């Protein structure tokens, strides 16, 4: 793997704790595999609770000194980190594609996206304001200030291994917090490479520690139970998020959770069907369907159903499935063989209940973790693909008759992360956007993610917002101070 990198020193396989690269106390390692080939790329240190505790204790010490610095000083270091990330886009993209599987074009895009959070919050950290309150007594003044919450623990997923770190540590570090982060065991190399660049940028020791591990429980238990940790942030499944949030209640930690989704794309009969098909395909099949905001259910008004299916089939027919390192590939593998088997079970369930495969449906033709982009027609709400998050390149297409029915179908889920709709009717775009229960809505647009927007969901899709000017709020505490005896 190193021979593919311009800077081989970006390939780190040890944990990064208190500014040092260290092995696990036990000496244990775990393999990181290329999902396209099953080749072992590296053996990475597998740490546990003791190493995580030391990282948290180091973070507590480092955070106090960091918080005492001015926002301008913190910003300067973060900007250096941003610059180093952008200078190493190609190497970071290669690392990501090899361990995660997404095609190089998507990996390059994610690295730029990841850097943008560091740049954005390097500036936003300078804009942490307070308020002055009028009080009943003329001899007193009330003020509210915002201070860093302290030590933050983070657990991030494998589907966006770089951006999910920077979207959390960007605001945390910018406002004066410290962070201890655990990467997904499938994709630790991307986060470790970013830590190497943070070290080069001059980030003080202890402010950002990375604790990779094959065994999530001892690391998570320490993060959730340690009273030094004042904030816990997680991106991942709703099931795991609920469990971690419950653990955090014992020490009353603040939490932010970006959890599962079941995103509908609603296509009305007045929509531009060409744009709708391209948009639905872009949302559904991005990263081989492995994103929390990708289209999970495509709801099409019955009068244009058949025409839309044909247009979507035309778009999907241009895709090329293969190894992400091949520049001609448009879509790579799914992350594990188990993931493939889970997706296949959902397709089999739909077919057993009457759904028809309109495109794709081949599993494992290019390798044991590849799935041809699949379209399912004549799908109904009693099938698993209606209720469950597919997290793979399978597009189930449902029919609806009226606007009211579309809204009801879209809301018939415990999730509420992202939703999309295509219509030329401005009144309908407002009615439906306000009527569906989601934290983010795209109208005639599916590329809704950016640094500038408040990313997050409602219902069982989580709590809190990441990115935008609101992104610092979860890393700050508000303190009220009353100044008395100010009379002459």
Active-site residue among 258, 389, 460, 466? 258
Active-site residue among 169, 177, 224, 292? 292
Annotated catalytic residue 294 = no
Annotated catalytic residue 258 = yes
Angle between helices 89-100 and 71-87 (to 10 degrees): 70
- The phi, psi pair for 344, rounded to 5°, reads -60, -40
- The catalytic residues are 258, 292
């Amino acid at each position: 793997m190193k021979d593919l990198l311009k800077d081989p020193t970006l390939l780190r396989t040890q944990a990064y704790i208190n500014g040092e690269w260290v092995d696990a106390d036990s000496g244990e390692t775990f393999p990181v595999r290329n999902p396209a080939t099953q080749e072992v790329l590296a053996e990475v240190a597998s740490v546990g609770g003791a190493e995580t505790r030391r990282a948290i204790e180091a973070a507590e010490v480092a955070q106090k000194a960091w918080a005492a610095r001015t926002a301008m000083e913190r910003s300067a270091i973060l900007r250096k980190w941003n610059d180093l990330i952008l200078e190493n886009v190609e190497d970071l993209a290669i690392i990501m594609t090899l361990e995660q599987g997404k095609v190089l074009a998507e990996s390059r895009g994610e690295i730029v996206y990841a850097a943008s959070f560091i740049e954005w919050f390097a500036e936003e950290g300078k804009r942490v304001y307070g308020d002055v309150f009028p009080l009943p007594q003329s001899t007193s003044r009330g003020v509210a200030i915002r201070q860093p919450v302290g030590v933050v623990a983070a657990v991030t997923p494998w589907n966006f291994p770089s951006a999910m770190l920077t979207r959390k540590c960007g605001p945390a570090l910018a406002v004066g917090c410290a962070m201890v982060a655990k990467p997904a065991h499938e994709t630790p190399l991307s986060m470790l490479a970013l830590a190497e660049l943070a070290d080069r940028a001059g980030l003080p020791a202890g402010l950002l520690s990375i604790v990779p591990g094959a065994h999530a429980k001892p690391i998570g238990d320490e993060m959730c139970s340690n009273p030094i940790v004042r904030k816990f942030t997680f991106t991942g499944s709703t099931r795991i998020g609920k469990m971690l949030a419950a653990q955090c209640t014992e020490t009353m930690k603040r939490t932010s959770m970006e959890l599962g989704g079941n995103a509908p794309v609603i296509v009305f009969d007045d929509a531009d069907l060409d744009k709708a098909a391209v948009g639905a395909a872009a949302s559904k099949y991005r990263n081989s369907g492995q994103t929390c905001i990708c289209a999970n259910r495509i709801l099409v008004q019955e009068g244009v159903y058949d025409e839309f299916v044909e247009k979507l089939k035309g778009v999907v027919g241009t895709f090329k499935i293969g190894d992400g390192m091949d520049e001609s590939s448009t879509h790579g593998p799914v992350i594990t063989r188990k993931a493939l088997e889970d997706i296949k079970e959902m397709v089999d369930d739909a077919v057993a209940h009457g759904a028809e495969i309109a495109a794709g449906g081949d599993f494992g033709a290019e390798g044991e973790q590849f799935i041809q982009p699949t379209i399912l027609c004549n799908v109904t709400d009693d099938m698993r693909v209606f209720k469950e998050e597919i997290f793979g390149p399978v597009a189930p297409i449902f029919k609806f008759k009226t606007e009211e029915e579309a809204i009801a179908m879209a809301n018939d889920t415990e999730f509420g992360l992202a939703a999309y709709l295509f219509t030329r009717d401005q009144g309908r775009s407002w009615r439906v956007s306000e009527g569906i229960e989601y934290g983010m809505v795209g109208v005639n647009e599916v590329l809704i993610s950016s640094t500038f927007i408040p990313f997050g969901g409602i219902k069982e899709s989580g709590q809190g917002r990441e990115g935008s000017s609101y992104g610092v709020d979860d890393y700050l505490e508000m303190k009220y101070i009353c100044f008395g005896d100010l009379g002459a």
